[in-house]
Homo-oligomer: A and B are copies of this chain.
Amino acid sequence: MNRVLDFYFDFSSPYAYFAAMDVDKLAERHSLALHWHPILLGAIFKKTGAQPLLSMPLKQDYAQHDLERTARLKKQPFIMPPQMPFMSLAACRAFYWLKQQDNKLAHSFAKNVFKAGYQMGLDVSNSAVVTDLVVALGFKEDKIQAGLKEQWVKDELRSAVDKAESLGVFGSPYFIYNNEPFWGYDRMPLLDDWITKEGW
Contact = CB atoms under 8 A, between A and B. Distances in A.
Number of copies: 2
A47 interface: yes
Contacts of A184: 186
A82 interface: no
A36 to B, nearest CB: 21
Contact of A56 (B50, B59, B165): B50
A63 B47 CA distance: 17
Contact of A170 (B44, B56, B65): B56
A138 interface: no
Given A62-B168, A62-B170, A69-B200, A48 B57 contact: yes
Contacts of A181: 62, 65
A24 to B, nearest CB: 22
B49 A56 contact: yes
Given A49-B51, A59-B170, A186-B190, 9 more contacts: A49-B56, A56-B170, A62-B170, A62-B181, A62-B183, A65-B181, A69-B200, A72-B200, A73-B200
